[in-house]
Structure 1
């Protein structure tokens, strides 16, 4: 069971990263916030997702520069 949960978590994380680098990110971020956050925690979660999004985009940009 533990291996299955790890695989599921890995798949979910990979999907989240893929969404962060696409135009679908805004919609996905809103849905994630509604799913995981209560009314009071939504702003905190949105802030954390924005920070993570910025980090992923910076890593993608750095990789593109390195590959060029």
Structure 2
């Protein structure tokens, strides 16, 4: 779980990379994190794990929205 935690917050803190391909790679990484966190929630995690996982899910959603908007602007 610590790998997902670090990855989600690295993405939130990361400054915009330089190329459209780097934006797409970043967006794919965020989607992957969000998917893995949801899988953990769906498999029945322990109650003490719910708070950090929900926090990570929200962080991933925010990052996905931000990066998705940037990718959309680049594609337009």
Q: Which has the higher contact order (CA 8 A, sep 6+)?
A: 2
TM-score by length of 2: 0.44
- TM normalised by structure 1 equals 0.48
Bigger Cα Rg? 1
